[in-house]
Amino acid sequence: MTVMDQATQLRQIARRASSRAQTIAITSGKGGVGKTNLSVNLSTVLAAMKRRVVLMDADLGLANADILCNVQPRFNLAHVVAGQRQLSEVLMPVPAGFSLIPGASGLAKMADLAESDRTRIVADLESIADNTDLLIIDTGAGIGRNVLSFTSSADHVFIVTTPEPTAITDAYAVLKVLVRCGTAGKISIMVNMAKNRDEAKQVHERIASVARQFLKTDIAFAGYVVTDVAVQQAVRKRAPFVLQYPNCGAAQCMQAWANRIDHHVDVTAATTRPSFFTRLSSWWK
């Protein structure tokens, strides 16, 4: 057994020894930057690495992770909010190897729910997470209260942007709000649709330099995904591009991102501060 294999096994044991799933929120300042596609493909790669992954489609305005997973859910979050189903009944396995909590387009704001309903939903989510290594939350775009409740509570937030000036501006706007809200976890920038690593690093540095100057905070570079025709081809097939075209440039970028997450998620830090669910409950209150 190699040293790398031993290290991987130790990380798996550490995760299973912890009763708390690591929570990752993937968000963006604007739509159209590929946030949901990255969420689905990241979940796919991590599941292939033998991680127990649950992807929650929390984009309550334009929920569509189920389409990219090529499934037709019978139930979704709307049924949970209405009290018609528990989350365990909504949770469904998908062909890509992880479990999906389907979202519901046009769902009313969770922040407007009664206290008893909020408590019920958080308890359901926590119960599911007890048997999960990674809970990945695909949030909506922007800085609405629903989005902030998830991003401010997660262990790690990835803000997805592209090299387009409007996307960079909106990504910084999200970052500014998260920092001022006192977000609990780490914040990183993920650059999608980049020509290459150099362009992605330039995008990150533009955001990071402004953050250092005006927000007095350091923002990590999560990685990048190159522009790749295979991505759109896979979308048309309603499948993750890491499965349809595993050797394409975008798939290699996704594998690198998943490897970094696997190596750097800090189990100890997550278990010594209030849990994601405690923080989420406080936000909804």
Which pLDDT tens digit goes with each residue over 215-257? 999 999 999 999 999 999 999 999 999 999 999 999 999 999 9
265 pLDDT above the threshold of 80: no
CB atoms within 10 A of CB 221: 17
In this structure, of 8-22, 163-177, 226-240, the range with the lowest mean pLDDT score is 8-22
pLDDT tens digits, one per residue of 116-134: 877 888 889 999 888 899 9
Topology classification of domain 29-106+113-268: Rossmann fold (3.40.50)
Mean of the per-residue pLDDT values for the chain?
Answer: 88
| Helix 115-129 and helix 276-284, axial crossing angle in degrees, nearest 10 | 160
User: Which pLDDT score is estimated for 282?
Assistant: 75
pLDDT tens digits, one per residue of 178-209: 999 988 789 999 999 999 999 999 999 999 99
16 pLDDT above the threshold of 50: no
User: Which pLDDT score is estimated for 284?
Assistant: 65
Mean pLDDT, to the nearest integer, of 43-67?
93
User: Which pLDDT score is estimated for 15?
Assistant: 46
* Domain ranges, ordered by start, for the chain: 29-106+113-268
Q: Token pair for residue 278?
A: 């405690």
User: Which pLDDT score is estimated for 269?
Assistant: 43
270 pLDDT above the threshold of 50: no
